[in-house]
Amino acid sequence: MAREFAKKGHNLALCARRTERLDALKCECLEINPAIEVSVASLDVNDDDAVFSVFERFAEEFGSIDRIIVNAGMGKGASIGTGFYDANKQTATTNFIAALAQCEAAMTIFRRQNNGHLVTISSISAVRGFRRAMTVYAATKAGLSSLSEGIRIDVLNTPIKVTTVHPGFIRTQINEKVKTVPFIVDQQTGCRAMVRAIDKEPANAWVPAWPWAFLRFVLAVAPLSWLKKMS
């Protein structure tokens, strides 16, 4: 997404745990568009204090922040009651508690500015419950979608916008070992679809639009036996 936003001329504030990748990405983005500014910072989103300090540092550095994308997540875990509580808890903590901290930090800045665009990256799995490794993952994404909607209601009719993106399956490190995935797209295709959706600032986006904007309605009413075959 950073590369796609660089093409569009957006200044970028990038944060993640692996700083060597951030530094390389910064160079790539500046090669794509030398006219933009790119700042990087090391951040583990599970460190609440660091989330607030890094976001505030970026706000001070750039003067203001137009958009914050809450994107960090993981998919560790297994069926509940099969001995993988620690892995399930890690997913719950990173995907929801850490996302809450990022939303809190972002909205603190946006309320102060009386302007901004909060984007949360949920999942198509937020529509229903899933089994095995998807059980906790889907639950956290449902929680994130609900959290985002609550924030959206809070700032309704203000200059602050809230978008929740629900991607379908995009080939990334989180699912690189999964062989059979329905309607999966490559990373570039998925990121381009996400960026196009984000720039429109809708309340909710389902990407890629085909087939997920349609399939979400199917998932909402599908019998449990059908969902079991999917996961």
Active site residue 85: no
Judged on CB neighbours under 10 Å (0-12, 13-18, 19+), 32 is: middle
Query: Per the residue annotation, which of 5, 55, 110, 137 is the catalytic one?
Result: 137
**SS3 of 24-57:** HHHHHHHHHCCCCCEEEEECCCCCHHHHHHHHHH
- Tell which residue, 187, 171, 168, has the closest CA to residue 230: 168
Region of residue 189 (phi > 0: left; psi between -120 and 50: alpha; otherwise: beta): alpha
The type of residue at 83 is: G
Q: Which residues does the annotation mark as catalytic?
A: 137
